[in-house]
Structure 1
């Protein structure tokens, strides 16, 4: 009977361990950690998923939430963006985002995917990849991405606290667009997801 009780206690402990709450300080962090914990959606390898508790994030910093002016480039041509595999991604520069960050003026190209825009829920999707001076030390060496949507006017908000790593930062089987060198910010963006430590 004592042996049976011990087994039941062990199973109960294991069951509780599997149902640990999702961690995160913001809705973005909670959502991303929830996705990564879900084996059906997670880009993590099985060995990393087994012990996954949550991604590392910089503390939320409101100074990394900026208003940007969107200068559209309607005549831009579609081109083949390089990825981490032999696949080429059909992209175009949808526009140029002009904004100030830490007292400096910056411009970043924001992209639209030819194939992705045909999918349900992605008709107004914009892709903002960027490099900064944290890459390789605090963040993924290949840069990070931010998801955006086409605004109704010519302004939109860029929240660098929602910067995330491409899936290939966790698993080399994924094919991820390589951040164009034009989208380099010459400062440290200490916001969003940090480098993954497996």
Structure 2
């Protein structure tokens, strides 16, 4: 009986390790693609030498959670302020309800009315949010998560905070980065995704 138990335990642990490795590999592939995008975007705030200053939390599958989606009905458009002082027009597409670290949370999902008119981006959605890591470990202005309408299936969406990224304003001024609305300020810390940009810190420490 003991031998059977040990075998089962070994199989469970092996499966868990393989699953964690697969998740880490997928997350790192996403981040590699994310970094390369800076080199191809015409209005990128970063150059190749800057990429080494990008910092991320270690991949953590506990911050990839299944969320229940409730679509908004008849949502009115509104102006979302940006850090440059301008405004961008959005509509609330719906809300995601989920648990993280055992606590109930929710985040609004927004749709850009300007992007909706462009065929390439008509399915794009946007989640700007803040959490308790902002200003310490992560960028003080909040972080973003992108998704598409097709990513939501049967009113369910896998909300992966490991894919949370910084707005361009985290690297340079002069960009129109939306400010996460108060409704998207989480009451918990999300130690997943992108951290603070390290370049300024390193340059300061050398003075």
More helix by share: 2
2:126 aligned partner? 127
Q: What is the deviation of 1:50?
A: 3.7
Structure 1 residues 155 and 38 mapped into 2: Cα distance closer, same or farther (>3 Å)?
same
Structure 1 residues 82 and 135 mapped into 2: Cα distance closer, same or farther (>3 Å)?
same
52-61 vs 122-131, which deviates more? Answer: 52-61
Distance 1:73 1:102 in 2: 26
- 1:128-160, Cα deviation, whole Å (9 max, x unpaired): 011101000000001100001112431111100
Residue pairs, 1:58-137, within 5 angstroms = 58-137=57-136
2:186 aligned partner? 185
Distance 2:168 2:55 in 1: 15
Distance 2:73 2:132 in 1: 31
1:21 aligned partner? none
Contact 1:78 1:91 in 2 (8 A): yes
Structure 1 residues 195 and 134 mapped into 2: Cα distance closer, same or farther (>3 Å)?
same
Instruction: Give the 3-state SS of the residue equivalent to 2:119 in structure 1.
Output: coil
Instruction: Give the 3-state SS of the residue equivalent to 1:35 in structure 2.
Output: helix
Paired positions, count = 172
Q: What is the deviation of 1:51?
A: 4.8
Instruction: Give the 3-state SS of the residue equivalent to 1:121 in structure 2.
Output: helix
**Candidates 36, 39, 53, aligned match of 2:38:** 36
Structure 1 residues 158 and 39 mapped into 2: Cα distance closer, same or farther (>3 Å)?
closer
Contact 1:144 1:163 in 2 (8 A): yes
Distance 1:41 1:60 in 2: 28
2:7 aligned partner? none
Distance 1:62 1:130 in 2: 19
Unaligned runs of 5+ in 1: 1-23
Instruction: Tell me the TM-score normalized by structure 2.
Output: 0.77
Instruction: Tell me the TM-score normalized by structure 1.
Output: 0.81
Structure 1 residues 92 and 29 mapped into 2: Cα distance closer, same or farther (>3 Å)?
same
For the aligned residue pairs, the C-alpha RMSD in angstroms reads 1.9
Distance 1:152 1:39 in 2: 30
Contact 1:130 1:144 in 2 (8 A): yes
